[in-house]
């Protein structure tokens, strides 16, 4: 298990490392960050994504454990990234197969100077990665951490990712997890994308403990 760097946790006020257990992140909706437009950012990316593509060796596994849950809402949805890739229209699948994304700090929250060192070196990853164990190809992206696709402008890159997700996300490829006290969920970031639902009041408090386990360099 890889101990997390404290510098990488500062950018979002809702994400904190526990002093007594520095491998555990605490995600608390009551301490949500403020977006560039002044609105509060609920905990958890609302876009389909895989975790921490800003790292050279992104996590292979994310473990989530709920500590406090709202009475309703706050589910997490998971999409099979193998099927997302395999069911793209063939021309689009061929177009993205060799593309690479440049990743860094989240683009939806203000960048702070004290975070600069943690995000100084961009991480470059394939948009379609091969799972090192199953050898299957899967869609691999975090739209908010993606700065751009190599060879494209940021605007062109965003349009491409929107097109890919719009054409491939289907209900039959998605599992929606309704959290219950005591749940422990392990996410294979190499094989699925996930999205947090924001259908709850963040002030009520949705608190999760999270551990991420370092993976290999995506290929």
- Confirm whether 173 is domain-assigned: yes
Q: How far apart are CA 212 and CA 51, in angstroms?
A: 9
- Confirm whether 43 is domain-assigned: yes
Query: Tell me: the pLDDT tens digits for 32-77?
Result: 766 666 666 666 667 999 999 999 999 999 999 999 999 999 999 9
Domains contained in the chain, number: 1
- Confirm whether 167 is domain-assigned: yes
CATH of the domain at 52: 3.60.130.10
Residues belonging to the active site: 49, 51, 194, 210
Half-sphere exposure of residue 49: CA atoms within 13 angstroms, side-chain side: 21
Cα 193 from chain centre: 7
- Confirm whether 219 is domain-assigned: no
- Confirm whether 1 is domain-assigned: no
Domain extent, residue 21, equals 6-214
pLDDT at 213 over 90: yes
Query: Tell me: the pLDDT tens digits for 2-24?
Result: 434 333 433 344 456 677 888 89
pLDDT at 218 over 90: yes
Query: Tell me: the pLDDT tens digits for 170-198?
Result: 999 999 999 999 999 999 999 999 999 98
């Amino acid at each position: 298990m890889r101990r997390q760097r404290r510098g990488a946790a500062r950018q979002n006020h809702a994400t904190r490392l526990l002093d007594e257990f520095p491998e555990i992140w605490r995600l608390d909706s009551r301490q949500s960050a403020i977006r560039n437009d002044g609105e509060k950012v609920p905990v958890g990316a609302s876009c389909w994504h895989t975790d921490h593509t800003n790292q050279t060796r992104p996590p292979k596994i994310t473990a989530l454990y709920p500590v406090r849950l709202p009475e309703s809402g706050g589910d997490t949805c998971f999409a099979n990234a193998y099927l997302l890739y395999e069911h793209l229209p063939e021309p689009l699948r061929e177009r993205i197969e060799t593309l690479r994304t440049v990743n860094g700090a989240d683009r939806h929250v203000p960048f702070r100077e004290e975070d600069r060192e943690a995000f100084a070196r961009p991480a470059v990853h394939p948009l379609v990665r091969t799972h090192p164990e199953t050898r299957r190809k899967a869609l691999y992206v975090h739209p908010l951490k993606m700065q751009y696709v190599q060879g494209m402008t940021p605007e062109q890159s965003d349009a491409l990712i929107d097109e890919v997700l719009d054409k491939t996300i289907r209900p039959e490829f998605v599992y929606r997890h309704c959290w219950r006290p005591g749940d422990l969920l392990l996410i294979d970031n190499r094989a699925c994308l996930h999205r947090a639902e924001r259908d709850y009041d963040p002030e009520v408090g949705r608190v999760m403990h999270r551990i991420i386990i370092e993976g290999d360099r995506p290929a």
